[in-house]
Amino acid sequence: MTKGWTPDQMAARCALDIPDGSYINLGIGMPERVADFVPEGREFIYHSENGLLGMGPTPPETKRNPDLINAGKKPVTLNPGASFFHHADSFAMIRGGHIDFCVLGAMQVAPNGDLANWTTGGAAIPAVGGAMDLVAGVKSIFVVSRHTTKDGSPKLVEACTYPLTGLGVVKRVFTDLAVIEVTENGFHVVELAPGVSFDEVRDKTGTEITAT
């Protein structure tokens, strides 16, 4: 058995924690996979900043329409009742508090819920997109991300050192190693991935983390 969750399994696990009937925005990259995993018996209404409400799962390559894409320019399908609207109206939905959940990627998350996910600073080209609007206007922010960077550095840190996207916004983090709640007392593991021990999670986390 492969230790830990694959990206698809991380996305599926995240979807399990979203209530039926929720309006959801998905960030670019790994969070987009969540659209492919709607738990049986639930309906999710997916929103995209480019002016789309009611996205379905990713289409097979033979049925992709280059004009039907999400904000990350990835091909999508439409569920019955889907609608299109102006980019400004899309952001009015976000800023007006009409989106229930947003799932984002992360470069760093701090135990108080601070999020850095748009630039590492330095020579990097800024590309904040709609992230700052999303963390300010959406009711609950989830993060789907690898637990560490490619070089093994922790993404869950004592304090974010990269430019912040939002202060105290993250509620829950889904990594390849665990599901982690952001509480008043910091990071708390609520579920470990198959084959992963709490000691491994603690060793790969850059700050204190607890478990029941």
Q: Which residues are catalytic?
A: 49
Q: How far apart are CA 25 and CA 134, in angstroms?
A: 8
Side chain identity at 192, as an amino acid letter? L
Q: How far apart are CA 151 and CA 162, in angstroms?
A: 17
- Angstrom CA distances, 145 to 83, 103, 212, stand at 29, 10, 22
Q: How far apart are CA 52 and CA 84, in angstroms?
A: 5
Which pair of structure tokens corresponds to residue 5? Answer: 């969750």
DSSP state of 124: P
Q: How far apart are CA 26 and CA 31, in angstroms?
A: 6
Q: How far apart are CA 102 and CA 14, in angstroms?
A: 11
Q: How far apart are CA 96 and CA 74, in angstroms?
A: 26
